[in-house]
Structure 1
Amino acid sequence: MADALTLVMPLRKKEAMSVADFRRYWLDVHVTLPARYPGLRSVFLHLVSFPDSRWPAVDGVSAAPAEADEFHGVPEATFAAMDDLATFQAASHYQMVDGVNFLSEMLAYPSVGTHSETLVDTTDPVPDGHDGLLRHLVFLRRRPDVDVATFRAWVADDLAPALAAHASKVRRHLLEEIEVSLDHPGTVMSKPLDRQYQACVEVAFPDAAALDALVASDAWVKIADGVREHCAAVHAPLVERCIATRHDGHITLAGLRGVTVADLITQLHAENQMNPAVSRIFVQDDGLLPA
């Protein structure tokens, strides 16, 4: 069953903050808040880097955003029912006011119902960021002379299936205009329409060789022709890590304890730290505990 709503949320660090400090705060302080609140089905965190992108450019199409439009992380949050977003909003005050500590900008792109779809996925459904895959988030901005219906049909019926024939994971989102659905006081929460995106495709390959093979194939020629015909921009940061903090209604170890602590527990095989009795110290709702 498709989720009723998916939010794709590019995050930009505070201007005076280093990328390293942004990541530490986001992954070890902030992420332990939203995963505890009611309403969420799943949350996936993507640490992204534009300078390290391996995504091939297409002639005549913008391949990188202006520095002022770069972002440093992209959470994806899913909600089983539309009412669940209101439930989450009502409970998440402390998450919202925390944004000002590490964010200058938080944009929320809604993708409604089947506008988000996973076409292929042979990866771990609850990633911890150590899968070794070559993963990108491919953000697409349509050409002004291409109407929305035509653009969406191309993404859903041509681009995403063409990528899925070669990738380990392809998940696409047809995005609505940015909405201020999660109010982070003190942060920028919108962009002019000509700087927004209209689709995002998560693409993961087993390794760089698999992407290189696609780019060298006849399939890429057709993909590139479609990109030129439909897109003004393709901005595809590398995903350095993808981490689930909540999955199918259950909090993960990373969501419960923060990513660094979860990494240590996993690396040291500290099974006592994953005992439900220990987890209950941090969250009292048994229904939320890791499955």
Structure 2
Amino acid sequence: MEVSRIGILTRKAGMSPQDFRRHWSEVHGSMVKRLPGLVRYYQHHVVDTSQLGIDHARGAWQVDGFSEIVFESRAALDEALNSAAFTPTTGDVSNYVDSIRLVVCEKNVVVPSPEDSGRPFVKRMSILTRRPDIDHARFVHEWTGKHACDVPGLPGIMGYTQNVVIDRYRTMTETTTWEDLPVDGIVELWFPDADAIVKAFASAQAGITQTHAKDFISTITTFLVESRRLL
């Protein structure tokens, strides 16, 4: 199973969104692409922070972008993070972000994305935090089981990937706990357009998925993103 490390980024205070994007893409991106074993590299730029039809409590996340580096395995990711090519990326982070929180995830592709199909789409990413009375094993069981079966029934859905968190970092190199970084999953959903998202979550099928979500998820914090694949 592929493994990704996803960064949750808040841009540097006083830095314009344009300068943030430029530095992230042109400067930092060129460094990251040198990591050994890197399979794919995405920068997901946040363009909208509304829930768009989700009937669920929202977390307090302030996010300007999600970084994502994808490897064939956790061993390959760890090898890249211990390589000489990784060192320059750690020193550059403070030049364009004030906060970066990182999660290592196993990727569960439920419905393949339309990104190589040539069809138009919009992409939504969501940060999930489990209920405090639900442990990690129960969260994974519910999310990758019943929820993974129900969500593809939403009208208009074009793609659905679950990123199941297996490790957390408070900085580029320092691991941390769930209590410090309460992220249990990151969702990727694709729809034809923003109106299709609203319609999907007003459907009867959404009633099923959202009722189930409240059984194991505390907050769902959603963002529309413009995804750029750099590798």
TM-score (normalizing by structure 1): 0.70
Counterpart amino acid of 1:103?
A: V
Does residue 1:56 correspond to 2:44, yes or no?
no
SS class of match (2:75): helix
How far is 1:17 from its partner?
1.7
Identity among equivalent positions (%) equals: 21
SS class of match (1:193): coil
CA contact (8 A) 1:107 1:190 kept: no
* 140, 143, 146: which one aligns with 1:152: 140
Does residue 1:83 correspond to 2:68, yes or no?
no
Equivalences for 1:54-203 in 2 at 5 Å? 54-58=51-55, 61-65=56-60, 69-89=61-81, 90=83, 91-111=85-105, 115-125=106-116, 132-166=120-154, 167-179=157-169, 182-183=172-173, 193=179, 195-203=181-189
Q: Which of structure 1's runs of 4+ aligned residues deviate more than 3 A? A: 180-184, 189-192
Gaps of 5+ in 1: 247-291
Distance 1:158 1:55 in 2: 23
CA contact (8 A) 2:52 2:198 kept: no
Counterpart amino acid of 1:139?
A: I
- Say if 1:81 and 1:224 are closer, same or farther in 2 by CA, change over 3 A: closer
CA contact (8 A) 1:55 1:136 kept: no
CA contact (8 A) 1:50 1:64 kept: no
Please, what is the CA RMSD of the aligned residues?
A: 2.5
How many residues are paired up? 227
- Say if 1:103 and 1:126 are closer, same or farther in 2 by CA, change over 3 A: farther
How far is 1:195 from its partner?
5.0
CA contact (8 A) 1:54 1:238 kept: no
SS class of match (2:215): helix
Max Rg structure: 1
* 173, 192, 202: which one aligns with 1:206: 192
* 187, 209, 218: which one aligns with 2:204: 218
- Say if 1:194 and 1:94 are closer, same or farther in 2 by CA, change over 3 A: closer
CA contact (8 A) 1:109 1:178 kept: yes
SS class of match (2:230): strand
- Number of the residue aligned with 1:12: 10
CA contact (8 A) 2:100 2:171 kept: no
More helix by share: 1
Counterpart amino acid of 2:228?
A: I
How far is 1:50 from its partner?
4.9
